[in-house]
Structure 1
Amino acid sequence: MTATLAAQSDPYILPLPSPDSPVVLSHWISPGNTHPNSRYQDPVWSLAPLIDDPSISLYKLRWTSCPAPLREQMKRAVWTMINGELRPTSVSVRKNAARTRASIRGMHTTWLEWMRLARWLHAHGVTTLHSCTAAEWRAYASQRWDELLSRTSAERVCRNLTNLWAFDQLSTCPSGITRPPWDSEGIDDFLPAADGRGGGENVREPLGPEALSPLLIWSIRFVDDFADDILAAWTERRRLAALAAANNANQAGQDALEDLLLPLIQSRAPLPATRYQGRFTLARAYVAALTGASLDQTDEFSKRHGLASLAAERPGPCPLEVPVTGRVEGKLWRGHLDFYEAADLMRHLGTAATIICLYLTGMRPQEIQSLRSGCCPDPGRSPDGSPGRHLIRSRHYKNVADEDGNYISGGEERNVPWVAITPVVHAIRVLERMVPKGELLLGAAHHDFNQQRGFHGTLKSVTLNKRIESFVAWVNHHSMAQGLTGQSIPADPHGPIAVARFRRSLAWHIARRPGGLVALAIQYGHMRTVLDARISSGYGSRSRNGIHSVLDVETALAAADTAALLRDRVAGGEKISGPAARRALTAAATTPRFEGRIVPGTFAKKAAQFLARDGLVLYDNPDAFLICAFKHDNALCAPDPGATAPRQYACQPGCGNTVRTDAHARQLQERADDIDKLAAHAPGPVGKRMRTNAHRLRETAAAHHATAQTLT
């Protein structure tokens, strides 16, 4: 009775669940969610009824991982976390705790931490949560930090552990676990020393151009040049597989088997083979489809003649009757397409299209994973008759909450769509050909080409990372086999190529490679102008969820490096010229030197403020052999209203923002010499234009030497 009255008087207190109570109460399940609900008494709880994001795995909580003496108390606390809400007064005083309910990933992470604590308590003789006192909390935290957690991770762990106490307070039958001391005394003294490690996309290293450029080139080749061949091969492969499965045993099939295979056996020629469990064996489905024999007939014939061993000794191809049309450097990319290679090629095609979307949109992986067929319709024409932009309608998930501050697993559609450049449109069109209409472009069930296991949702990030690794391995093997020297994809110096690194890589290359030292330079330039506009027709223009913060960080870091380089050159005795020389030195003197590559989460806002200092931000432009001390009103590159960066690919001579050093002048001379060497071997008119260009570069260098001063 007392518990019932408490629950009625306090809306945050939940009644005790019964053994048959659902793990997820119905009011937390969205109308379209049809996943089965577990019962409280079940040994495994599914969180699927809470999951509407296709990129999230269907998490399960297995209670065998919890020590038996603590299991019932932990189950009550976890059930309360799944179905309850923290009091607004308790979350308002916490740093970085804005919600009364966690996301699904957050719940799963919290559960894992609670299970880790339960096992530690049990190992130290603590069999009830009531016996977990401040001494146990301190000892556990100290040991946890010995596991090399960063300060940011440690803070997150403390928050998850505090939630065990907080949710215990919301049960009509609390265990009485002691409040963690860091929640009452302050957290700073309980955390390990700051070491710069932490999460977030800005702390991930961008992909290096030496790896990213060939990766992107091969991805575009797959989409633009190989896709028709691969899709046709997959269609033919499925047709033959269905034919083989449907064939009935008959004499005609038996005769066809003998006509096809006996000559190969007698002549010791290669036999149609496939790799199974690490070794070659007879390609039974392919042979059955070609001959009209049943699979049983094919197996019996194979056993009678020992074809499994013969195929392992001399494996042969299984060519499909599909023409090869794609070319690499003028040559057909394959001699033929193989029955048993079709599934792998489809997987690589999907991976290539995903890489293009990840790198050339600026979307987070979660948004790419939730795209559906039809998300990027063909545009109509503008009032002036010009073709409109392709726009991608997507759902975003970060910081999406309802009016009560509760995380919405299904996210919401962006108010402002993303602008898709041509390679992205082509990639989406290929993915649309790989899945049924209206389905997820990366639907796991449709991209499981080998086994068709009907997986839930979309391809997960772990799977995509493995597929990228496999794609790189295929490209490198193919490049070597076809003699395509210099076209392999080298290892990235900062580790595996992962989906989480593409977003920052895009921002890095826009900020650092304005002239296009990486493939698709023109598109990068166009994206920069769209990004700078930040208007409703722009590129993911919602400031909190768009790519602007990532781009601002990279641009600010690049500008800081440029300022440091200018300071060093002037301090080393180099002279400086240009109408913006004195302003550039002022900017360099007031720009802090950025040591290292660690970027805290608060840096994005500071980066935007840094870039807003009109006239005091320096942009290196190696293709124009100058530094731009960008002042909007002086710029001749026609920046958009409100832009905080120049159009570096559209740099114009005579601009009032120009700054050059002696190093730039030397580079101009060296470039002029290189052009003259090329001009000596070029046809007459072309050589003349090249020599004119070289002369212009030398004149620019001479103008620097004539006007340069030592400024301090």
Structure 2
Amino acid sequence: MTSPAPILHDERDTRPDGLPDGTVWPGPDMLVLTNRQIRSDTDLARLSRFADDRWDLNPGIFEGHARSQTLNFEIIPEPLRLATKFYIWQLINHPKARTLRRSATNRMALHSVEVLFYGSLQHVLKWFVGRGITEFCQVTNDMLWDYLDALDEDGVAIHKRYRRITEVRRLWVHRNLLPFYLRLPEAPPWDGEDTKDLLERTRGDRENRTKRISEQTMQPLLRWAIRFLEDFSEDILAAWDEYRLLRSRRPEHRRGQRRGRKSGELQADIKVLLDGLRRRGEGLPGSRREDGTLGPAWRHIASLLDCSVSIENTGSHRLIVESGLPIADDCYLDTPVTADLDGQPWHLRIPFDEAPRLARLLSTACFIIVAYLSGARVGEVLNLRRGCVSHDKDLGLWLVEGLYFKGAEDEEGNKIPEGTVREDPWVIIEIAAKAVAMLEQLHDSHVLFPNRLKPIKTKPGMETKRRGEARADRIIADDITKFIAWVNERCRQLGRKDHIPADAGGAVAPSRFRRTLAWFIRRKPRGLIAASIQYGHAYTQMLQGYAGSYEAGFLDDYAFEDWLFRMEGIAEDERRLLAGEHVSGPAADAYRYRVQAASREFAGRVLHSERHARDMLGNPLLQIHHGDGMTCVLNPAVAACQLRGSADDPMVTPDTDDCRPNCQCLARTDRDIEINKARAAELAEIINDTLAPPIRHTREKREIDRLLAIIEHHEHGARP
């Protein structure tokens, strides 16, 4: 990491009138990233200059999974192009340039600058130019009201209107950093009215847009990912190693490195190759010619023999052509297929060109496991490095160390572009640790999810705009789509029923994993993930492990799902109370009060963020937790069980598996009593069994007496 020194030049004739103190005015040769950190491997001679019409932002982008990011000013109409460049340069470099959401010291990330440039600002500026504007100072307040009408007349989607209005406000907010001719009118745009009041509509994209992946899709997806890791990986690794060995012997990779042979050695090697093919009942490696006929695949044969492809034009090739062996329809690897699917081979012989595809599928399977079962953000997973996993033997925890980017800020509130190492590592379960170990065997890259499994080699001075170290979000999303397609095609070929159904919410994007995991943990705490991974275990590992640190973000997703779950429960509880459901137990009155009060308090409530949901969960009205044959109306101060979390934590929950009969938080609904009646009936059968051991008979008799007392009190005790 480094910071480029600005190029000094004479600015006496170029400084505009009214330039505020503290604002540096760029000349044609000034670096675009003058006041930004840049990657240490950047070729400084290739950095973009102010005069360029295309600005390369990639030297200041540190996330390994980020796509290439540039600003193309040719899309801005010429009358406002230079003014726009001055404005954007200040957003990038001025120390007091800011976002619109926090303090004046919170400078925008380069990615955010690119997003606003293409997504909204260009459309605003094109409309200005259409009205004859050549400098920002020519914009009037009346014109801005006309712009609102134009957005409506053009039928611009509500979320796009919000963003375009925001860009006008951003230009106005930065007027004190710009010279006179680049300033919007002094009065706030639209008299300072809120956007929601201007448009009389709330912004749809502010709602939770991340859709959960349905159980019917997620379960088989994870099951197949684990199958790749635990069953197929050895075959795939062996095929991938053989592929890389043979590929390294290709003529284009061995120029000047071909091993010399003594007279007769090549013929001996050919004989060994042919004898091996006969013994295994295989044909010569073949390839399809342009006319559709099969012929020997000489490049592949040369790799097998570690010789020049010119063997085709020597006398030695006759030993091969006249061997009498048939020509196979492809070039198959020697790697045997050892794993099976319910007694059938999971794959037939693996062709040479199929090995990279299978290796990529295995890498994708490992991503699904790590991303889904860690709850980490997609970018955080894609930026994991080799050696990131460790095992704490004392705590029995698998830990993952890595970088986080969202929320990584310095003391002044500005984004730290290279990210920050998490103070608290993620806690994962063992299957995810195995996936990381597999990735470290699969390739030599220092990132776990490289864009290519074989590292890209570049010549000095030929650096690409983006190194492409880690896969981008869109690439891993495409990989997951291909993984699902491969699984479903294999299921079709083998007549299997465990294919991965399409999800009603659309493509299985990796950004959907966190919310899906939060849903499963909240809704199915005793359910099973594929291959006997228990959600209850994942809950303990994640919520009480790394997710105990709020900057991890997963708690917010979990809180949102918890909020939805509790609100659904409150609605059902109120419906049953109104229908006459009886409630007994020491907390019965508190139960009735909370249900009725919560319905009044939260009906129709809109959450603005997942963290808002987490904060609201601390409201005592929502502390109703239905267990097995009991309902906990939680009051942490008097709870007899072992709480999950501290008493002052809004995410605290009771351990309903450790419910104590004498707890003052207990209430029992008619639904709970039905469960207790069924349990008592099961115990009665055991007690009536004359062959039951006396000690068991005594124990179950004591338990059934307790249950019958609860039922009696509920049905015939004092009622309100």
For the 8 Å contact 2:632–2:667, the answer to whether it is kept is: yes
- Structure 2 counterparts to residues 274-313 of structure 1, below 5 A: 285-290=299-304, 294-295=308-309
| 2:229–2:435 Cα contact (<8 Å) kept | yes
State the alpha-carbon separation in 1 of the partners of residues 423 and 289 from structure 2.
49
Q: Distance in 2 between matches of 1:572 and 1:377?
A: 55
Give the CA deviation at 1:443.
2.4
- Whether contact under 8 Å (2:17, 2:180) holds in the other structure is no
Alignment partner, residue 232 of structure 2: 226
* Counterpart selection for 2:625 from 607, 619, 622: 619
Q: Does 1:551 find its partner at 2:555?
A: no
In structure 2, what residue type is equivalent to 1:19? P
For structure 1, list consecutive stretches of 5 or more residues without a partner in the other structure: 302-306, 308-313, 677-683
* CA apart distance, 1:371: 1.1
Which one-letter code corresponds to 1:634 in the other structure? A
Q: For 1:45, which of 51, 55, 77 is the aligned residue?
A: 55
Q: Which is greater in Rg?
A: 2
More divergent stretch after superposition (33-42 vs 700-709): 700-709
Alignment match, 2:634: 630
Matched-pair contact (CA < 8 Å) for 1:272–1:317: yes
| Structure 1 CA distance for aligned equivalents of residues 134 and 676 of structure 2 | 76
Q: 2:415 aligns with which of 407, 429, 445?
A: 407
2:249 to 243, 248, 268: 243
- Does residue 349 in structure 1 map to residue 362 in structure 2? yes
Q: Aligned match of 2:67 in 50, 57, 63?
A: 57
- Say if 1:5 and 1:141 are closer, same or farther in 2 by CA, change over 3 A: closer
Q: Which runs of 5+ in 2 are unaligned?
A: 1-11, 316-320, 322-326, 685-690
- Distance in 1, Cα, partners of 2:289 & 2:406: 43
My pick for the range that moved more, 69-78 or 637-646, is 637-646
Tell me the amino acid that sits aligned with residue 385 of structure 2: R
How many Å separate the matches in 2 of 1:527 and 1:75? 50
Distance 2:655 2:574 in 1: 21
1:338 equivalent to 2:355? Answer: no
Distance 1:634 1:185, change over 3 A: closer
Segment of structure 1 superposing worse, 353-362 or 110-119: 110-119
The match for 1:359 is 372
Do 1:525 and 1:647's aligned partners in 2 also have CA atoms closer than 8 Å? no
Relative to 1, partners in 2 of residues 1:378 and 1:156: Cα closer, same or farther, differing over 3 Å?
same
Q: 2:510 aligns with which of 499, 503, 508?
A: 499
- Matched with 1:304 is none
Q: Which amino acid aligns with 1:21?
A: M
Between stretches 391-400 and 697-706, larger displacement belongs to 697-706
Separation in 1 of the partners of 2:297 and 2:590? 73
Alignment length (residue pairs) = 661
1: CA distance between counterparts of 2:337 and 2:372?
28
Residue number in structure 2 paired with 1:604? 611
CA distance in 2, matches of 1:707, 1:185: 60
Are the equivalent residues in 2 in contact too, given 1:358–1:364 (CA < 8 A)? yes
| 1:115 to partner: Cα distance | 2.0
Match status 1:369 vs 2:408: no
Q: Is 2:79 the counterpart of 1:73?
A: no
What is the Cα deviation at residue 322 of structure 1? 1.7
Q: Structure 1's 55 and 617: CA in aligned 2 closer, same or farther, altered over 3 A? A: same
Matched, 1:563 2:570: yes
Q: 1:497 to 1:280 in 2, by over 3 A?
A: farther
- The 5 A counterparts of 1:82-481 are 82-86=92-96, 96=102, 99-112=105-118, 113-144=120-151, 147-150=155-158, 154-167=161-174, 169-172=176-179, 174-178=181-185, 181-182=188-189, 184-188=191-195, 191-195=198-202, 197-199=204-206, 202-245=208-251, 246=254, 272=286, 285-290=299-304, 294-295=308-309, 316-329=329-342, 331-379=344-392, 381-382=393-394, 388-436=396-444, 439-446=446-453, 455-481=467-493
- Indicate the SS of the match to 2:624: strand
Secondary structure of residue in 2 paired with 1:337: coil
| 8 Å CA contact 1:273, 1:283 repeated in 2 | yes
Structure 2 residue 523 is matched with structure 1 residue 515 = no
Alignment of 1:20-39 (within 5 A): 20-25=29-34, 27-30=35-38, 32=40, 34=42, 36-39=46-49
**Whole-angstrom CA distance in 2 between matches of 1:672 and 1:106:** 62
Distance 1:348 1:415 in 2: 32
Seen in structure 2, the aligned counterparts of structure 1 residues 274 and 215 have a Cα distance that, compared at 3 Å, is farther
Q: Kindly provide the amino acid, as one letter, of the partner of residue 225 in structure 2.
A: S
Tell me if the contact between 1:525 and 1:649 (Cα under 8 Å) persists in the aligned partners: no
CA distance 1:179–1:336, change in 2 (3 Å): farther
Change (3 A) 1:284 1:666: farther
Deviations 1:554-579 (A, max 9, x none): 21221121121112123233444555
Deviation at 1:372, TM superposition (A): 0.7
Q: Aligned equivalents of 1:154 and 1:275: distance in 2?
A: 57
* SS of match in other structure, 2:427: strand
* Percent identical residues: 25
Structure 1 residues 646 and 165, CA, compared in 2 at 3 Å: closer, same or farther? Answer: closer
Aligned partner of residue 341 in structure 1, secondary structure = helix
Measured after TM superposition, the shift of residue 347 of structure 1 is 1.3
Q: Give the structure 1 partner of residue 500 of structure 2.
A: 489
CA distance in 2, matches of 1:330, 1:584: 55
Question: Per the alignment, do residues 647 and 466 of structure 1 end up closer, same or farther by CA in structure 2, a change over 3 Å counting?
Answer: farther
CA-CA distance at 1:185 after TM superposition: 2.7
Cα distance in 2 between the residues matched to 1:286 and 1:38: 45
SS in 2 for 1:316: coil
Letter in 2 for 1:478: R
Q: Deviations over 1:658-705 (max 9, x none)?
A: 5554445667788999999xxxxxxx99xxx9xx99x99999699648
Change (3 A) 1:280 1:135: farther
Q: Which amino acid aligns with 2:468?
A: H
Q: Contact conserved, 1:3 with 1:173, CA < 8 A, in 2? A: no
Structure 1 residue 323: deviation in Å? 3.1
Residues 268-307 of structure 1: CA deviation (Å, up to 9, x unaligned) = 999745899x999986644443466755666999xxxxx9
How far the C-alpha of 1:100 sits from its partner, in A, is 4.3
Amino acid at match of 1:110: L
Letter aligned with residue 359 of structure 1: Y
CA contact (8 A) 2:39 2:59 kept: no
**Which TM-score applies when normalising by structure 2?**
0.78
Q: What is the rounded CA distance, in whole Å, between the counterparts of 2:678 and 2:328 in structure 1? A: 56
Give the match for residue 584 of structure 1: 591
Cα distance in 2, alignment partners of residues 211 and 356 from structure 1: 14
Asked whether the equivalents of residues 391 and 420 of structure 1 are also in contact (C-alpha less than 8 Å), the reply is: yes
The one-letter code sitting in structure 2 at the alignment partner of 1:102 is M
Query: 8 Å contact 1:416–1:541 — kept in the other structure?
Result: no
Structure 1 pair 481/583, CA: closer, same or farther in 2 (3 Å)?
Answer: farther
Specify whether residues 645 and 333 from structure 1 end up closer, same or farther in structure 2 by C-alpha distance, changes over 3 A only. farther
What secondary structure, in the 3-state scheme, does the structure 1 residue paired with 2:86 have?
helix
